[in-house]
């Protein structure tokens, strides 16, 4: 059964979710996982793509923004829609709703920003998962 972790960010900022997602992605990549990072839009996908190239001068994370023509065996794929069929290890979610395809992943990492709206939406997602019996963890940062 899918494990769901909520990471609650305490520092406000326009790029704090993306910055933290880069750090999580780097850690999961270094541990040998395949990661699909779900964004809210094509623009956020492109922004995260840029962040992954620049957030840490010493790191290299092979990744790309999802398209039908790409190599879906890359360790990190960024997208704003349903992932390719090859993705089932870790889902890092930056969206406000529960992704319809979350249960095909071994682990879901739900990144929650510090705004009141972000926290309210996260509570709804948490309740959704809890009512269905998923294993939940919360990490306040």
Structural domains in the chain plus CATH codes: 3-140 (3.40.50.10110)
Burial status of residue 89 (CB atoms within 10 A of its CB: 0-12, 13-18, 19 or more): middle
Along the chain (141 residues), what's the average pLDDT of each consecutive run of 10 residues?
Answer: 96 80 96 97 95 87 90 93 95 97 98 94 98 96 84
Q: Are 87 and 34 within 8 A, CB to CB?
A: yes
pLDDT given for residue 127 in this prediction = 98
Q: What's residue 138's pLDDT?
A: 97
Q: Return contacts of 59-65, CB within 8 angstroms, 24+ apart.
A: 59/26, 61/25, 61/26, 61/29, 63/25
The whole-angstrom separation of Cα 35 and Cα 42 is 18
Distance CA(126)–CA(21), nearest Å, equals 19
């Amino acid at each position: 059964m899918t494990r769901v972790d909520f990471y609650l960010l305490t520092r406000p900022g326009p790029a704090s979710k993306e910055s933290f997602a880069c750090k999580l992605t780097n850690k999961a990549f270094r541990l040998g996982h395949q990661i699909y990072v779900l964004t809210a839009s094509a623009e956020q996908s492109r922004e995260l793509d840029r962040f992954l190239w620049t957030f840490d001068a010493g790191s290299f994370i092979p990744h790309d923004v999802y398209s039908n023509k790409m190599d879906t065996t890359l360790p990190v794929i960024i997208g704003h829609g349903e992932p390719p069929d090859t993705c089932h290890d870790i889902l890092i979610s930056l969206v406000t709703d529960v992704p319809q395809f979350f249960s095909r992943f071994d682990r879901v990492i739900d990144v929650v920003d510090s705004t009141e709206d972000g926290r309210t939406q996260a509570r709804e997602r948490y309740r959704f998962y809890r009512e269905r019996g998923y294993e939940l963890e919360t990490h306040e940062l």
